[in-house]
Amino acid sequence: MPSKHEAAILALQSALSGHASDILREQDLPVECPENGVINIVPGDPEDVGAHLGTGRIEWQRPVELEAVVQGTEAAARNAEMDAALGDVAARLVADRTLAGAVDYLLLSAPEESDTVPMQGAESLKGAVLTVTLFYETTENPME
């Protein structure tokens, strides 16, 4: 059985699994962008944000970057593709902010967009990072 930390990331990955883009986890971006785009899940380190004294419960928050890359021949097309891709991600995640009970809550940030993408054909690509912060609790042993 995975730890609560791993279960939260697996639940996020599962929530994104029906997205049109290829979903990766902690991988280098491919050399070439897939036609349908790519989203790479990059978890940050969990941060201990407090303990419930006497209960043995620890509160955590964990930032997870979703690196998205889309392609299009014109800037307007790339902007529309990115808007659609991130809109779909947001809709999937806010539909169940507990990720089927794996977390207590998730919070989305505004996307940070970039026209510089380290892939072949970069002139036809657009990238963005959407940070999702996961909030959850564990027992005193955070690896249970």
DSSP per-residue letters across 116-143: --SSBTGGGEEEEEEEEEEEEEE-SSTT
Does the pLDDT at position 142 exceed 80?
A: no
User: How does pLDDT run across 84-93, given as a tens digit for each residue?
Assistant: 999 999 999 9
Q: What average pLDDT does range 4-28 have in this prediction?
A: 96
Residue 109 lies in a domain: yes
- Assess whether pLDDT exceeds 80 at residue 143: no
Residue 51's domain comprises 4-138
DSSP state of 114: E
Does the pLDDT at position 8 exceed 80?
A: yes
Average pLDDT over residues 66-78: 94
Give the sign of the dihedral formed by CA 45, CA 105, CA 133, CA 88: positive
Share of the chain above pLDDT 90, in %: 78
CATH number at residue 38: 3.30.70.1700
pLDDT of residue 117: 84
- Its pTM stands at 0.93
User: Within a domain: residue 144?
Assistant: no
Overall number of domains in the chain: 1
Residue 143 lies in a domain: no
Q: Is residue 42 part of a domain?
A: yes
What local confidence, expressed as pLDDT, does residue 130 receive?
A: 98
C-beta contacts of 19-28 below 8 A and 24+ residues apart: 19/85, 19/88, 19/89, 19/92, 20/85, 20/88, 21/68, 21/70, 21/85
Task: Give the mean model confidence (pLDDT) for residues 58-65.
Answer: 96
